[in-house]
Structure 1
Amino acid sequence: MESDTTLSLQPPKKIAVIIPCYNEEKTIAQVIDEVFAVLPNAHIYVFDNNSSDNSRNIVKAKITEINALRASNLESQSTDSKPLDSKTPTKSLTLHSVSTQGKGAVMREAFALIEADFYIMIDADTEHDASILPQALAYFSTHKLDMLNIAREADSSTYRKGHSFGNKLFSKSTQMLFGTKINDMLSGYRIFSRPFVKSFPAHSNGFEIETELTIYALEQRLRTDEIKAPYKSRPEGSFSKLSTFKDGFKISLMILNLLFSERPLLVFGVLSAICFLLSLFFGVPVFVEFLETSKVARFPTLFVCVGLMVIAVVLFIAGLLAHLVTKSIKESRYLAYLQSKRESYKGIYGE
């Protein structure tokens, strides 16, 4: 990572920080303060997802506090002959409500509503280290990335064993199936470009959104990278909303679903090959017996053999057709990505 800790963009660009929030009354205020401490000009959007605790009221109090500070600054500007410096922080905090339960639903709405140049996704539980954001944004901008995954660096006492095992399992599975180099696939701490956000389909509703983000970036061949950051434990009384088995099952289904939709030729090709080999397994003995005796003594086996061969051919053709459809969909997505890229590329990167 670059040693420079200042994100220098000319002219200044809008940085949107998206914080999904569900019953995080013990931590949400601290996360907001930590982000503003390093990115005072950021636009923070808290998306409340049916919280039943005091999270909403805490965010509303923060908004009132920021509005009062802004009014005070404006009053000072009107009474002071010297105008406020252009570098004076202009904090912005907005609260949105999302009725559809799940982190994926939150991110889908956030990506649709927010207009920005850089999008930061960070959890509301204080587990992520916000102090690295200036360096991470500088790295993101310098390398002209579309997605930067901020992997969690944690010791065994911080990371729940079930979550740690599941994350490693899913990350390795995705690496094997899709070829990604992302080591922390389930990280909820990421930075995105505007073209990425505005072309991302966002089908997920729950925690499987991180899986979809990773595989989408890979399948569209977008510029991605990963850096590591410290991972902190939750404060006492704060609990993770991620269910090891329930959400793990959903993530598994998402990987399988994306495998079928993004790599249909691979899936149908493997199934076709299995049927073809089984057909040979049952058919070769029947054929050898026919050569020796000029008779077919096992008609049921022959029927099974022929049926499997037909299924193998049908599956292979289905895979080819699905591959062509998927290719067309990917091209449409990439055109949407390029359109957004043209609109923002020159201004953001100063070229």
Structure 2
Amino acid sequence: MADKIAVLIPCYNESKTVAKVIRDMKKALPEAVIYVYDNNSTDGTDEIARKEGAVVRYEYQQGKGNVIRSMFRDIDAQCYLMVDGDDTYPAEFAAEMCSKVLEKGTDMVVGDRLSSTYFTENKRPFHNFGNSIVRGSINRLFKSNIKDIMTGYRAMSYRFVKTFPVLSRNFEIETEMTIHAIDKNMQVENVVIEYRDRPEGSESKLNTYADGFKVLKTIVKMFKNYKPLEFFSLIAAVLFVVGMVFFIPVLVHFLEVGTVEKIPTLIVSGFVILTAIICWFSGIILSTLVNQHKQDFEYQTQMVTNRYKDLFPEKK
């Protein structure tokens, strides 16, 4: 059976807040089916969720990315609303976000915390700084205007969910989702939401420095994968400049006296310039492969669209 709206709540030790999140979502979206995927909780999160009427399932590979992979594979719905189980995202914005998917055909609706109360509610200054850095980096690298890159509050279409390859295992998954939507030219909208910090006694699973490094590493990796020509051209330009800095004095000296005294410098600069040329051509080749992948993706999207019409004939 396919759902009209599936509320997806990934949970790891959220016993203090998960009941309220489920109750709030039931009130905001009475027609939705609420799924709680328990990720090896030891505090009874799954039992609390089950008592509140949620469909409880389990993912035993640790990490939010692994949970989301299972959710996306298992569940068929017209609209997917993903929300954290820590009660930091108010449910009153859920209906507006889902309506954009169901009525306007939006592929991803981003719950934008950063344009409202995030910087005042969040008590971890490095998280505030990190969110700003990530948002600025991705919007510049990918020429986009996403207001909140790492929010855990999103509404998504069937097309997005079934064509998104989940590669990350942990909290960098939100960054990966955002970049995928931008690169594949999917329709993305921002909805400004209120954000509240975790209630007292509820502990964050994030490690500011370790997870921040993983997110930055993901950005670099995906910039390389999605825009290889720009990535390798940048490396090639740096290497070419370095090579020329060492090569030009040798060339000037040769033109003045007719001999080359610094042969090792000439050899090293030649190899650096040659490496720059190889990087540039590598970027061209990989860019061709990426364009081919985009063509294949369009074919895959058409197949997903056909399956969606079979699941929901009333949407034809």
Q: Using structure 1 for the length normalisation, give the TM-score.
A: 0.84
> Cα RMSD over matched residues?
1.9
1:32 aligned partner? 22
Rounded to whole Å, the distance in 2 between the matches of 1:190 and 1:327 is 28
Rounded to whole Å, the distance in 2 between the matches of 1:195 and 1:336 is 10
Counterpart check, 1:21 vs 2:29 = no
Deviation of the 1:287 alpha carbon: 1.6
More moved, 228-237 vs 108-117: 228-237
Can you give the 5+ residue segments of structure 1 that lack an aligned partner in the other structure?
Answer: 1-11, 64-92
Rounded to whole Å, the distance in 2 between the matches of 1:44 and 1:146 is 20
How many residue pairs get aligned? The number is 311
**Counterpart of 1:192 in 2: which secondary structure?**
strand
What is the 5 A alignment of 1:1-351?
A: 14-63=4-53, 93-152=54-113, 153-154=116-117, 156-159=119-122, 160-344=124-308, 350=315
Q: Is the 8 A contact 2:81 2:98 kept in 1?
A: no
Rounded to whole Å, the distance in 2 between the matches of 1:282 and 1:157 is 51
Deviation of the 1:195 alpha carbon: 0.7
Deviation of the 1:143 alpha carbon: 3.0
- Bigger-Rg structure (1/2): 1
Deviation of the 1:46 alpha carbon: 0.3
Give the 3 Å change call, closer, same or farther, for CA 119–222 of structure 1 in structure 2.
same
Rounded to whole Å, the distance in 1 between the matches of 2:243 and 2:284 is 21
Rounded to whole Å, the distance in 2 between the matches of 1:229 and 1:279 is 50
User: Which one has more relative contact order, counting CA pairs under 8 Å at least 6 apart?
Assistant: 1
CA deviations over 1:125-154 (Å, ceiling 9, x no partner): 111111122222223334321001011121
Rounded to whole Å, the distance in 2 between the matches of 1:156 and 1:311 is 44
1:74 aligned partner? none
More moved, 150-159 vs 104-113: 150-159
Q: Is the 8 A contact 2:3 2:32 kept in 1?
A: no
Deviation of the 1:232 alpha carbon: 1.8
Rounded to whole Å, the distance in 2 between the matches of 1:107 and 1:200 is 11
Rounded to whole Å, the distance in 1 between the matches of 2:175 and 2:181 is 10
Q: Is the 8 A contact 2:8 2:82 kept in 1?
A: yes
More moved, 107-116 vs 229-238: 229-238
CA deviations over 1:186-211 (Å, ceiling 9, x no partner): 10000111011001000011110000
Rounded to whole Å, the distance in 1 between the matches of 2:8 and 2:224 is 30
Q: Is the 8 A contact 1:128 1:230 kept in 2?
A: yes
Q: Is the 8 A contact 1:172 1:183 kept in 2?
A: no
**Counterpart of 2:121 in 1: which secondary structure?**
coil
CA deviations over 1:37-79 (Å, ceiling 9, x no partner): 021111111000000102111122223xxxxxxxxxxxxxxxx
Rounded to whole Å, the distance in 1 between the matches of 2:144 and 2:12 is 30
Structure 2 counterpart of 1:239, which letter?
E
Rounded to whole Å, the distance in 2 between the matches of 1:349 and 1:277 is 60
CA deviations over 1:279-336 (Å, ceiling 9, x no partner): 2212222222222222112211111221112111111111112212222223223322
Rounded to whole Å, the distance in 1 between the matches of 2:235 and 2:50 is 54
Q: Is the 8 A contact 2:79 2:102 kept in 1?
A: no
Q: Is the 8 A contact 2:79 2:101 kept in 1?
A: no
Q: Percent identity?
A: 35
Deviation of the 1:177 alpha carbon: 1.2
**Counterpart of 1:245 in 2: which secondary structure?**
helix
Structure 1 counterpart of 2:19, which letter?
A
Q: Is the 8 A contact 1:141 1:349 kept in 2?
A: no
Give the 3 Å change call, closer, same or farther, for CA 135–190 of structure 1 in structure 2.
same
Rounded to whole Å, the distance in 2 between the matches of 1:275 and 1:155 is 41
